[in-house]
Amino acid sequence: MRQYKIWNDVTTPDYKTYNSKSFGTNSNTETTVNVGTSSQNSFEFLKHETKHTEKDDGTRLFEFFVDNKLIKSAIYNPKTKEMKYE
């Protein structure tokens, strides 16, 4: 079995299982990043999450968190098709 120094454990509510290395989601994605020398000797390094929320006015809020701290957000307006970064 191959050993990896960095391992990403990805969780999303949109899929029960997936084999693809690239995937999409409509709600949120949580990733726990572990580091070490093997699966038996790895430690949680950080967690990052990307969230999507549709507001009552139709705009869409995208947020990116690292260890529960908001790092970046953006609001998409489907009427103007513009993305505003905050």
- Which residues, 6 or more positions from 53, have their beta carbon under 8 angstroms from its beta carbon? 60, 61, 63
pLDDT at 18 over 80: no
CA distance 36 to 59: 41
Which residues on adjacent β-strands are paired with residue 58?
none
User: Residue 2 has what pLDDT?
Assistant: 67
User: Residue 45 has what pLDDT?
Assistant: 96
Encode burial over 12-49: b for 16+ CB neighbours within 10 A, e otherwise.
beeeeeeeeeeeeeeebbeeebbebeeeeebeeeeebb
φ/ψ (deg, to 5) at 46 = -165, 165
CA distance 19 to 16: 11
pLDDT at 78 over 60: yes
**Average pLDDT for 4-32:** 78
Q: What is the pLDDT of residues 24-73, one digit of tens each?
A: 788 898 999 999 988 788 999 999 999 999 999 999 999 999 999 999 99
Q: Is the pTM of this model over 0.85?
A: no
User: Residue 26 has what pLDDT?
Assistant: 86
